[in-house]
Amino acid sequence: MILADGGLCCIDEFDKMSAEHQALLEAMEQQCVSVAKAGLVASLSARTSILAAANPVGGHYNRAKTVNENLKMSAALLSRFDLVFILLDKPDELLDKRLSEHIMSLHAGYGERSPAVKKPRIAKASKIVETISMSVKECSLVSRLRLDPKKDADFVPLPGALIRKYIAYVGTYVFPRMSKPAAEILQKFYLQLRDRSTSGDGTPITARQLESLVRLAQARARVELREETTAQDAKDAVEIMKELLYDKYVDEHGFVDFGRSGGMSQQKEAKRF
């Protein structure tokens, strides 16, 4: 705040601060910070505006509680702010679609923003990868990764040194762009998650999940040294996410319960009621 004297001080994750809250009372009221160290007493100017962002307890804002209870913040500190805005993330089909389209458009030009690095010649390697990709039938990722004791009896794992070199090459030179078919598949799955995420006591489905899907799809394309993410890469990423959500959210009766990711399950909530 002293360094921002005469300007704007932006604080993120304001709810994660513990003892520092009390130190802000004087600075926000008197616009100065008193320091007493080694016998020296000084008053430093902190004439700055404060823009702070905080998350509610548990990741969800509870309308039945006050703002202080939701943020676990003292009333004295909250009164120092002139304006307090409550931003609620409610599933909106139109707004979610526009946001997902914006994120996908950013990743569509990812390869153009990648650093211009001279790529070594790997014509043989890329042809081998393309041949393998063409020979693999379009089926589930689980069935493709599962080893068959009869067909894969002579399967030999690649050496660790070769794997490390391969990953190092991919991380340095391969930056795939998001194709339109892949973007549509990821966007459709994200909108379905947002539409079904109606629980108020679980992990919220936000744009971070869409970013996770994009990273998984791009990683799938980078493994095969491709410059563009295909629809099959997007389907593989969706399948991985579905498997994760099934293990995380499905209850003992086979129903999807988004509250199981955090807070209380439906059974505990009914017992509490």
What pLDDT does 55 receive?
86
pLDDT in tens, the chain (273 residues): 889 988 999 989 888 876 667 778 888 888 888 888 888 889 888 898 999 998 888 777 888 888 888 888 888 888 888 898 888 888 788 888 888 888 888 887 644 444 545 555 554 444 444 444 444 445 677 777 777 777 777 778 889 999 999 999 998 999 998 888 999 999 889 888 887 765 554 567 788 888 999 999 999 999 889 889 999 999 989 888 888 776 666 665 655 555 555 555 566 667 777
What pLDDT does 216 receive?
92
Residue 47 CA neighbour count, 13 Å, CB half: 2
For 203-236, letters b (16+ CB in 10 Å) and e give bbbbeebbebbbebbbebbbebbbeebbbbbbbb
0.75 exceeded by pTM: no
- CB 5, CB 48: distance < 8 Å: yes
The candidate with the shortest Cα–Cα distance to 59, out of 200, 257, 190, is 200
Cβ neighbours of residue 233 closer than 8 Å, sequence gap 6 or more: 182, 217, 218, 220, 221
Instruction: Kindly state the DSSP code that residue 44 receives in the 8-state scheme.
Output: E
What pLDDT does 140 receive?
73
Cβ neighbours of residue 11 closer than 8 Å, sequence gap 6 or more: 17, 50, 51, 52, 53
What pLDDT does 265 receive?
57
What pLDDT does 161 receive?
92
